[in-house]
Amino acid sequence: MSDHSIDDRAIDTTGGKTKEEIAEAYRSEPWWYDVRGFFILLFAYNSSLGAMMRQFGPNYGSNHLEVACGTGTLLEMVLKWRKRRRLPPTRVTGVDYAESMLAGAVRRFAGRSDVSFQHADAAALPFATNWFDSANIANSLHCLPNVDAALKDICRVLKPGGTFAANVLLHPRGGWPLKNVAQRIDDWGMRKGILYTPYEKDDIRARIVAAGFELVSEEVSGNCYNVIMRKP
Ligand SMILES: C[S@@+](CC[C@H](N)C(=O)[O-])C[C@H]1O[C@@H](n2cnc3c(N)ncnc32)[C@H](O)[C@@H]1O
């Protein structure tokens, strides 16, 4: 773990993008976003759709918050995964800061009363304290410019005992050539603005705990830190 305090690290010294620049970087055609996402999943995250279903699928209470939902592609897959397993129904609120992503999600779920969307910054959620039973953030914690504020606000809107699942991109691990390929994709993503920064596991874990969560489970798989947290 680095020896900075959490407060020091909350100050952006990376020259990273603002939330407006990040939202602009996500202004792409939904089909291109999905195709690009598949390659990033495989070669930068070294992960799979199956791993994501297992990470996010079980974590739905009756009132669920999907943070940084994007175009809703993954959310739709996870909800189908749950339906196939006859898991209990859930009411989902999705938020995203990129209007174009959100528009794709609204189109995808048009006509469904159990899923709704709102434009919101993950660090300033427009919801009451202790409101949601569960929250997920898929493939996105490392895209946020103010991760500490986002973690704190997600913790705020969860009910005590509410659970929160995330997968966080780590700095590339392993050997040549996969590590080099992942590094190139990460560098490109940061230049473009669709990735804010990958993390070291101990760094992101310390931020999670500082935001008020307790850890339920954690594992590193490929270049991802998969973590389930709970609001005490
Ligand atoms: C890699 S995409 C993941 C989308 C979706 N969760 C998925 O797995 O397909 C990252 C998402 O984070 C959103 N995002 C970036 N900064 C945000 C912020 N400050 N607040 C809310 N969403 C944000 C982007 O607009 C984008 O839709």
- Which long-range contacts (C-beta less than 8 Å, at least 24 apart) are formed by 35-44? 37/73, 37/139, 39/185, 40/185, 40/189, 41/139, 43/178, 43/181, 43/182, 43/185, 44/169, 44/172, 44/182, 44/185, 44/186, 44/189, 44/223
Distance, CA of 128 to CA of 133 (rounded, Å): 12
Interval 98-124: pLDDT, tens: 999 999 999 999 999 999 999 999 999
Q: Average pLDDT of 128-156?
A: 97
Query: How many domains are there within the chain?
Result: 1
* 32 assigned to some structural domain: yes
User: Across-strand partners of 91?
Assistant: 63
47 CA to centre of own chain? 14
Distance 174 CA to ligand 1 centre (A): 26
The CB of 41 under 6 Å from ligand 1? The reply is no
* 6 assigned to some structural domain: no
Judged against a pLDDT cut of 90, whether residue 5 lies above it is answered with no
The CB of 19 under 6 Å from ligand 1? The reply is yes
Q: Residue 190 has which token pair?
A: 């940061």
Q: Which of the four pLDDT bands, split at 50, 70 and 90, describes residue 1?
A: very low
Q: Which of the four pLDDT bands, split at 50, 70 and 90, describes residue 3?
A: very low
The CB of 64 under 6 Å from ligand 1? The reply is no
* 9 assigned to some structural domain: no
Distance 140 CA to ligand 1 centre (A): 5
> Best substitution site from 20, 97, 194, 197 to test ligand 1's pocket, by max atoms within 8 Å of Cβ?
97
Specify the pLDDT at position 2.
Answer: 36
Distance, CA of 13 to CA of 116 (rounded, Å): 36
* 3 assigned to some structural domain: no
The CB of 136 under 6 Å from ligand 1? The reply is no
The CB of 142 under 6 Å from ligand 1? The reply is no
Helix (H/G/I), strand (E/B), else coil: 87:
coil
* 7 assigned to some structural domain: no
Q: Which of the four pLDDT bands, split at 50, 70 and 90, describes residue 216?
A: very high
pTM, two decimals, is: 0.90
Helix (H/G/I), strand (E/B), else coil: 216:
strand
* 8 assigned to some structural domain: no
* 22 assigned to some structural domain: yes
The CB of 75 under 6 Å from ligand 1? The reply is no
The CB of 154 under 6 Å from ligand 1? The reply is no
* 129 assigned to some structural domain: yes
Q: Residue 207 has which token pair?
A: 């931020």
Domain of 112, in residue numbers: 16-230
b/e sequence 61-79, b meaning 16+ C-beta within 10 Å: bebbbbbbbbbbbbbbebb
Residue 209's CATH number: 3.40.50.150
Q: Average pLDDT of 36-47?
A: 83
What is the residue-averaged pLDDT of the chain?
90
